[in-house]
Chain A
């Protein structure tokens, strides 16, 4: 390692990144490109392609984590460019779990990360997805307008999510949904760390799949109406006084961003 406190920017990709780029490109050229037109017309999630990618370790928590932590910082950018060179719709299917994973890994406790991230990817033969639920019918660019609430119920030691999400990549078919919700009223009342929830909560209703112009059709972007109860566990962000949180359903809670 250099002792230079300011690391220098270089366009020279490391041998590891070059090797990874060629490996991803090969998959994009051999598997993704030839499948693109079919899945564009079918407007469905390309499960067989996900399965192929899982088989070689490309659709895996390990691969995405490795690129995210790649020392130069260019790993993820290089990998994604190659995947989307193959096809954007299939590319979004292969990377759609990433947003949910980033939300949990950026804000969750080590226990939450260890529990939920593997469930967002599964393994060969048992591929799984994660979904990040942020937009609402009345809250698109204006994220601060979200109305979904997470309310703590002391009697049952559960958090109840109530709201409607839309444009959810992998919505309704993911094993873990990370849901952006406000816990403000709950914090005022409960004044204790908030919570998380586990899979498949009763009361989560899947909405309609929106047909769209481009790459959307190959991944469900469903409206998802949610009223569900989630057993409470520790929620890291509430402890530091943040009042806006990620909560997950069927999967999990992650944490929070600061109030504006």
Chain B
């Protein structure tokens, strides 16, 4: 499916956008929201979650940009780099938006805040344009050189 191969890094970039929105919102919230006498971002439990989120978003973007660059310069996807970008970005969007809800606690669960919407929106990225399982199949074949089914 040539159409899907060409579009995978673009779809990955969409997922990165959703994840970044959630990361930024949760970061700002963690700076302002005070519990136990200090901003919740000063609690390791929250800061470490934000650290993981930030690292994941950057990793997803780097895979996305690599695949987009390869596609543009006609460097063959020898290790299924297009699928890697879609897999990691989609899974990252789901995880990071879920973590953002967790950081906002009860507020995150309500529709008064946008993070629950971003989580609903993120889920499609592990499904359309090739599910995460299809991406793993493509990557698995490239990595092993075997016809994984």
**In the complex, B141 has a CB within 8 A of chain A:** no
Are A214 and B10 touching (Cβ within 8 A)? no
A-chain residues with CB within 8 Å of residue B72 when the two chains form the complex: 70-74
Q: Say what secondary structure dominates the interface of chain B.
A: helix
- Contact mask B31-59 → A, CB, 8 Å, 1/0? 00000000000000000000000000000
Are A82 and B65 touching (Cβ within 8 A)? no
**In the complex, A83 has a CB within 8 A of chain B:** yes
In the complex, which of the residues A71, A215, A257 has the most CB atoms of chain B within 10 Å of its own CB atom? A215
**In the complex, A220 has a CB within 8 A of chain B:** no
In the complex formed, the residue of B with least CB distance to A9 is: B69
Residue from the list B1, B114, B133 in contact with A37, Cβ < 8 A:
B114
Instruction: With A9-B66, A215-B124, A216-B124 as known contacts, state yes or no: A106 contacts B3, CB within 8 Å.
Output: yes
**In the complex, A7 has a CB within 8 A of chain B:** yes
- Report the bound CA distance from A167 to B68 in whole Å: 26
For chain B, the bracket of interface size reads 35 or more
Within 8 A of B (CB), among A104-145: 106-107, 132, 134, 141, 143
**In the complex, B73 has a CB within 8 A of chain A:** yes
Instruction: With A72-B69, A72-B72, A73-B72 as known contacts, state yes or no: A91 contacts B128, CB within 8 Å.
Output: no
- Total A-B Cβ pairs within 8 A: 116
- Report the bound CA distance from A11 to B68 in whole Å: 12
Q: Which stretch of A95-103, A199-207, A228-236 is in the interface?
A: A95-103
- Contact mask B114-142 → A, CB, 8 Å, 1/0? 10011111111000101101100000000
**In the complex, A76 has a CB within 8 A of chain B:** yes
- Report the bound CA distance from A72 to B66 in whole Å: 10
- Contact mask A206-235 → B, CB, 8 Å, 1/0? 000000111110000000000000000000
- Report the bound CA distance from A89 to B16 in whole Å: 14
In the complex formed, the residue of B with least CB distance to A91 is: B14
Are B123 and A102 touching (Cβ within 8 A)? no
Are B124 and A80 touching (Cβ within 8 A)? no
**In the complex, B148 has a CB within 8 A of chain A:** no
Are B121 and A89 touching (Cβ within 8 A)? yes
A sample of 13 more A-B contacts (CB under 8 A), given A9-B66, A214-B117, is A73-B72, A74-B72, A76-B9, A80-B14, A81-B61, A83-B14, A84-B15, A85-B20, A99-B3, A99-B7, A103-B3, A141-B133, A215-B120
- Contact residues of B with A, CB < 8 Å? 1-3, 6-7, 9-10, 12-18, 20-21, 61-62, 64-66, 68-73, 111, 114, 117-124, 128, 130-131, 133-134
- Contact residues of A with B, CB < 8 Å? 7, 9, 11, 36-37, 40, 70-74, 76-78, 80-89, 91-92, 95, 98-99, 102-103, 106-107, 132, 134, 141, 143, 167, 212-216, 257
